Structure 1
Amino acid sequence: MEFLNFNPRDKSLKLEEAPVPVPAENEVLIRVSFAGVSETDIQTIEGSYPRKENEDAVLLGREIVGVVQAIGSAVTTLSVGQAVAVNPNEGCDVCNFCRAGGYNHCQKAGAASTPEIWRNGGWRTHALVPEKQVYLVPAGVTLSQAVLAEPLSYLAHSWAKINPVEVGTGTLVIGAGILGFLWASLLHLHGLRKTVTIIEPRIKRRKLFEKLDLGFRALDIDDVKGEEFDLVIDCSGAGSATETALTSLGSGGRLCLVGSTNPLAEIKFKPFQATRKEFSIIGAHINQFTFGRTLSLITAMGDTYLDYEKLGIGVYKLSRYEEALAAVKTGDITKAVFKF
């Protein structure tokens, strides 16, 4: 198999080859069709995202879809040839968080077991995944759409936490990366129209956003100074953007933090703002049993919202990884996806 190796010691990437692995009794061997490049991947390469210390090389990529090539002897729910998507998050099933339905807070598994951070991910032609984390892709959903299930499952978890979001809610989305584009699409799907604004400092990204043709405003940060919103969704992960979000909240407003935040980011905050305006700050961490529902959500969104050209997604061969990562960093695309 071909794979893209990441060396955490010197932050280098190298294309290599190895024999195709054999699944253990509870594992599924997936012939990968598409693997996404997440913000966490980029932060990991840059060295800003936490991971195990003194580790050997690891494969990045937690957004994985493909076709079942082989199954372990104990696998009962899947068959060779089926199209599948991988939920990168799991729980230990025995801690208090897991037993209360919150595996996203599990200290033993949860984000602590996510491929690309703590174990090998999907930037390879063949991936071994535990059966419990593999989901069938519904009929009518393409694999190129299904590879967006992981970031969309994060949105689905966030959506459940901020609901209700009524039609007419004055909404500000911060950051025109792929999360911002998907949030805008989700809001539009749920009936919001001219009350949504997205802000982004880079002109390239604002131009890309116009391709979505949702009828939402795409502005620079300074263009919304003085405006107040009922709901602010911060997809940027930047501390400075969160400060902007807090000052943009109206009385009784809600701020939802959903970006892949740099762990070292800090903000200045005046508690008086919260008591005077009675606003709420809502954090959302990975997904919480939303992956299966997200595949149904993808069915509803379809080509109308998940068109790669409109979303600004670039598709690359794994061998073009340097070009793909550079295009994301410069803002030429919102997201890169490797096609195998």
Structure 2
Amino acid sequence: MQRVAVLTEPDNVVLEQREIPEPGPGQVQVAVRAVSVCGSDVHYYDHGRIGGFVMHAPLVLGHETSGVVSAVGSEVTTPAVGTRVAVEPQTECGRCAQCRQGRYHLCPDIAFFATPPVDGSFAEYVVVPAHRAHPIPDSLSDEAAALVEPLSVALHAATKAEIGPGTRVLVSGAGPVGLLCLQVALARGAASVVVTDVMALRREAAAEFGATATVDGNDHDTALASVGEVLGQADVVLECTGVQPAIDLAVAATAPAATVVLVGTGASVTLPLDLVQARELVVKGTFRYAHVYPAAIALAASGRIRLDAMITSHHPLEDAVGALLAARRDPLALKAVVHP
């Protein structure tokens, strides 16, 4: 038997005893060592839903996961038992049009950890397809390996934005994903990266992680002028908030023919169509990632992304609620990690 932290309803997590899952053909069992908390976990804890994804039954949270392969199913030759891995938390059908074209993250039948009705990794053991258990080098800690998942989100967004040497980048929002987008942009050779946020402590964190400058986003006109002084106009915007005022500011700060990548998840928002058309902006959406994990692991192992520095608290499985509430209790909190 294993211990599992289960969200039974909003604001209520209980520890349960469940059977340890056994790997089937092509699968591996992973003994979980670290699970970092995502904003989506917190949203399910608070509300029981994110947009159209709604809890209709108890749900195990957690999808940013690392561990050690503890058993393998038939037909599995790699990774071997004992291999440390970062777990890519999605399983696609492999047959639909999106999968056949390589966009497996857009598979209509995707099973993604901690997205109803699929349980996540606040557990001692999980089972995943062998090709979704990515070996990690000894230079990466278990905690950093768990953060490969949000790093993959940032790397996927930067790739869609085509950030390269000399690019002028504006990152809207200095939460964990925004800070990872900042670091990825710098690693890809961006000439300058300005980060906006309404919270002073978040802006301080962005400065610590290498932002060329940070801008208070509370007043649109003042913020736009400040961005202009440092950046001129942005060639790329990585919008990580999903909040209307931040989106308005980010789009207004663009150069002609700039690319705006919408990374943050929010409710319905509006875009200033006059600016989009007059500047011929390219607006792109992102949803998770695909084919990114190996590159994200290599980037993390290179030392150019400071994953361990983003971890601000550690929690046993019994304190999963403490991990979920960490950011609410401490404005300096970035990433809480659960250790099953």
Q: Which residue of 1 aligns with 2:3?
A: 2
Runs of 5+ consecutive residues of structure 2 not aligned to the other structure: none
1:205-254 CA-partner distances (Å, limit 9, x unpaired): 22333332x25212210342233422211111323322222222222222
CA distance in 1, matches of 2:66, 2:100: 28
CA distance in 2, matches of 1:170, 1:27: 43
Equivalent residues of 1:256, 1:282 under 8 A apart = yes
* Aligned residue among 137, 145, 170 for 2:168: 170
CA distance in 2, matches of 1:54, 1:178: 25
Q: Which residue of 2 aligns with 1:331?
A: 331
SS in 2 for 1:282: strand
**Is 1:219–2:215 an aligned residue pair?**
yes
* Aligned residue among 160, 179, 182 for 2:180: 182
Aligned residue pairs total 327
Q: Per-residue deviation at 1:51?
A: 6.0
Letter aligned with residue 281 of structure 2: F
Q: Per-residue deviation at 1:178?
A: 0.8
**Is 1:234–2:239 an aligned residue pair?**
yes
Aligned-residue RMSD, C-alpha: 2.2
Q: Per-residue deviation at 1:257?
A: 0.9
Equivalent residues of 1:202, 1:331 under 8 A apart = no
CA distance in 2, matches of 1:215, 1:5: 38
**Is 1:290–2:292 an aligned residue pair?**
yes
Q: Per-residue deviation at 1:54?
A: 6.7
**Is 1:210–2:200 an aligned residue pair?**
no
Equivalent residues of 2:88, 2:132 under 8 A apart = yes
Deviates more, 1:280-289 or 1:151-160: 151-160
**Is 1:35–2:40 an aligned residue pair?**
no
Equivalent residues of 2:173, 2:197 under 8 A apart = yes
Equivalent residues of 2:26, 2:130 under 8 A apart = yes
Q: Which residue of 2 aligns with 1:322?
A: 321
CA distance in 2, matches of 1:51, 1:75: 35
TM-score by length of 1: 0.88
Q: Which residue of 2 aligns with 1:191?
A: 189
CA distance in 2, matches of 1:308, 1:164: 24
- Runs ≥4 residues deviating over 4 A: 50-54
Q: Which residue of 1 aligns with 2:158?
A: 159
SS in 1 for 2:325: helix
Equivalent residues of 1:85, 1:147 under 8 A apart = yes
CA distance in 1, matches of 2:97, 2:16: 41
CA distance in 2, matches of 1:51, 1:278: 31
TM-score by length of 2: 0.88
Q: Per-residue deviation at 1:143?
A: 2.1
Listed as ranges, the matches of 1:100-179 within 5 Å are: 100-109=101-110, 113-117=111-115, 118-167=117-166, 169-179=167-177
More strand by share: 2
Equivalent residues of 2:6, 2:58 under 8 A apart = yes
CA distance in 2, matches of 1:284, 1:92: 20
Letter aligned with residue 242 of structure 1: I
CA distance in 2, matches of 1:215, 1:29: 40
Q: Which residue of 2 aligns with 1:256?
A: 261
Q: Per-residue deviation at 1:90?
A: 3.0
Q: Per-residue deviation at 1:331?
A: 2.7
CA distance in 2, matches of 1:27, 1:202: 43
